[in-house]
C-alpha cells in the first residue's frame, strides 16, 4: 500500500490552462514522489496580497509571505492530523514559511520538506546587479532574503529538494543540512520535426528578467553578425514581445499559445533556443520539453543546470552571448549540424535513467523520517 504525502501548493501551479516553468517542475516533482511509492494528496491555496503586503514585499520585509495562512490554518491542521499524514511537501519555498508554526499543532513525527524552485535571493541578486547601480535598500533587501532563507532551512524544514546541482552547495552555505538534487525528467515524446524555413525559436515568460536580457543580449549579437534568418518568440506579455519585434527586424512575435498550439509551432523551427547567460534560480524547464520532443536545440552551460545529459552537443562552449549567437548562426547554416543537434536531443531523452534518482529520493525521505527534529 502506498504511503500518503500531502502536497501544499498554489492551485495554479497544479491546474493551469497553459503550463509554464513552475507548472512543469511541479509535475516532475509529483512524478518523482509518486515513483518513490507515495500517494500524493493535494492541498490547494491561493495568494492573498494586500496593498500593505505588497509594500512589505517591495521593501524586502515579507518577501516570502505571499499567502494568508489564517485562511487555511484550521483545514490544513485538520487534514494532517485526521489523515495521519507523516510527510508534508511545500511546493515552492514561499509556502514553506508555514512549517515552523505547523510543527506546534501536529504530531512530532510529521516531517516537512520544501520543493524548491530556486531561492528568491538568487534572482534578486542578478536583478539588482544587472540593472545599474545597487542601492542601499536593494542591498538591505538581499540581506533580509538570505536571513529568511537561513531560517527556512535551519528551523522550519526537515529537508529541501532542489532543481539544480548548483543549489546544493548554495543552500548548504545558507544553512540547509538535508538537501537532495533531482534532475529534470527526460523521456522520449518525439514529435515530427517539419522545419518550414530557417527559423530559431524561444519559449518563455518574456518580461522575466533572465529571459528578457537573454533575448536582448542574443539579439544584439545576432544583429551585429548580420543575422539573415528569423527568430520567433512565444510567450507573454504581448507588450514585451511586440516591443522586441519592433526593435529587431528578424524577430517575429507569435504570442502566448496553448500547449497544443505550442507543439504545432515549435515543430516548424529549425532550432529551439535556450539563451541563458548566467546562473539564475532553479532550472530552465522548457529545455526539457525540447529534448523530449526530439527537437534540435541549443543551450549554454548555465542553461543546462539541473540536467543530466548524455550528449552535450546541444551545449555551447561558454555563457557569452557572442559564442551562443555564433552557434545559432552556424547551426542554421548547416543541415548536418541541425541533424546532429536533433540526434543529441533524442539521445538525451532516450538515455536518461530515472530509477537511480528514485532510489536516492526514497533514501532521502527515509532518512528525514528517522530524524528527531
Tell me: do 271 and 169 sit in the same domain: no
**Confidence band, pLDDT 50/70/90 cuts, at residue 31:** very high
Tell me: do 315 and 361 sit in the same domain: no
Tell me: do 345 and 359 sit in the same domain: no
**Confidence band, pLDDT 50/70/90 cuts, at residue 58:** low
Give the pLDDT of residue 138: 87
Q: What is the pLDDT of residues 66-97, one digit of tens each?
A: 777 778 999 999 999 999 999 999 999 989 98
Give the pLDDT of residue 55: 62
Instruction: Provide the number of structural domains found in the chain.
Output: 2
Tell me: do 89 and 226 sit in the same domain: no
Q: Is residue 50 domain-resident?
A: yes
Tell me: do 128 and 23 sit in the same domain: yes
Q: pLDDT higher for 139 or 220? A: 220
Give the pLDDT of residue 75: 94
Q: What is the pLDDT of residues 147-166, one digit of tens each?
A: 999 999 999 999 999 999 99
Q: What is the pLDDT of residues 344-353, one digit of tens each?
A: 999 999 999 9
Give the pLDDT of residue 278: 87
Q: What is the CATH number of the domain that holds 310?
A: 3.40.50.2000
Range of the domain at 21: 3-184+354-370
Q: Which of 296, 247, 305, 248 is nearest to 276 (CA)?
A: 305
**59: CB partners within 8 A, 6+ apart:** 137, 141
Tell me: do 339 and 359 sit in the same domain: no
What is the average per-residue pLDDT within 319-334? Answer: 97
What is the average per-residue pLDDT within 222-249? Answer: 96
Range picked from 2-6, 165-169, 322-326 for highest mean pLDDT:
322-326
Tell me: do 219 and 150 sit in the same domain: no
Q: Is residue 190 domain-resident?
A: no
Amino acid at each position: 500500500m502506498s504511503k500518503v504525502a500531502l502536497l501544499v501548493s498554489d492551485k495554479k501551479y497544479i491546474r493551469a490552462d497553459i503550463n509554464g516553468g513552475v507548472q512543469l517542475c511541479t509535475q516532475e516533482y509529483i512524478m518523482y514522489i509518486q515513483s518513490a511509492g507515495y500517494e500524493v494528496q493535494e492541498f490547494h491555496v491561493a495568494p492573498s496580497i494586500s496593498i500593505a503586503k505588497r509594500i512589505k514585499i517591495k521593501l524586502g520585509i515579507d518577501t516570502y509571505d505571499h499567502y494568508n495562512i489564517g485562511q487555511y490554518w484550521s483545514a490544513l491542521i485538520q487534514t494532517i492530523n485526521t489523515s495521519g499524514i507523516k510527510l508534508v511537501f511545500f511546493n515552492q519555498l514561499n509556502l514553506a514559511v508555514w512549517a515552523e508554526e505547523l510543527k506546534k499543532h501536529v504530531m512530532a513525527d510529521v516531517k516537512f520538506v520544501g520543493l524548491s524552485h530556486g531561492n528568491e535571493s538568487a534572482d534578486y541578486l542578478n536583478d539588482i546587479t544587472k540593472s545599474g547601480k545597487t542601492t542601499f535598500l536593494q542591498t538591505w533587501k538581499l540581506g533580509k532574503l538570505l536571513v529568511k532563507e537561513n531560517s527556512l532551512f535551519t528551523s522550519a524544514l526537515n529537508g529541501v529538494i532542489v532543481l539544480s546541482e548548483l543549489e546544493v552547495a548554495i543552500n548548504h552555505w545558507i544553512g540547509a543540512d538535508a538537501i537532495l538534487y533531482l534532475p529534470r525528467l527526460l523521456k522520449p515524446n518525439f514529435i515530427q520535426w517539419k522545419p518550414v524555413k530557417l527559423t530559431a525559436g524561444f519559449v518563455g515568460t518574456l518580461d522575466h528578467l533572465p529571459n528578457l536580457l537573454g533575448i536582448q543580449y542574443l539579439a544584439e549579437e545576432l544583429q551585429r553578425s548580420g543575422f539573415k534568418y528569423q527568430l520567433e518568440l512565444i510567450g507573454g506579455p504581448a507588450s514585451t514581445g511586440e516591443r522586441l519585434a519592433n526593435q529587431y527586424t528578424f524577430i517575429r512575435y507569435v504570442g502566448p499559445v496553448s500547449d497544443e498550439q505550442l507543439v504545432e509551432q515549435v515543430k516548424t523551427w529549425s532550432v529551439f533556443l535556450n539563451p541563458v547567460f548566467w546562473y539564475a534560480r532553479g532550472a530552465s524547464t522548457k529545455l526539457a520539453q525540447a529534448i523530449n520532443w526530439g527537437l534540435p536545440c541549443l543551450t549554454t552551460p548555465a542553461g543546462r543546470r539541473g540536467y543530466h545529459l548524455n550528449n552535450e552537443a546541444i551545449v555551447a562552449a561558454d555563457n557569452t552571448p557572442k559564442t551562443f549567437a555564433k552557434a545559432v548562426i552556424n547551426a542554421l547554416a548547416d543541415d548536418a549540424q541541425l541533424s546532429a543537434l536533433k540526434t543529441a536531443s533524442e539521445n538525451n531523452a532516450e538515455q536518461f535513467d530515472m530509477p537511480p534518482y528514485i532510489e536516492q529520493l526514497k533514501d532521502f525521505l527515509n532518512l528525514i523520517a528517522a530524524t528527531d527534529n
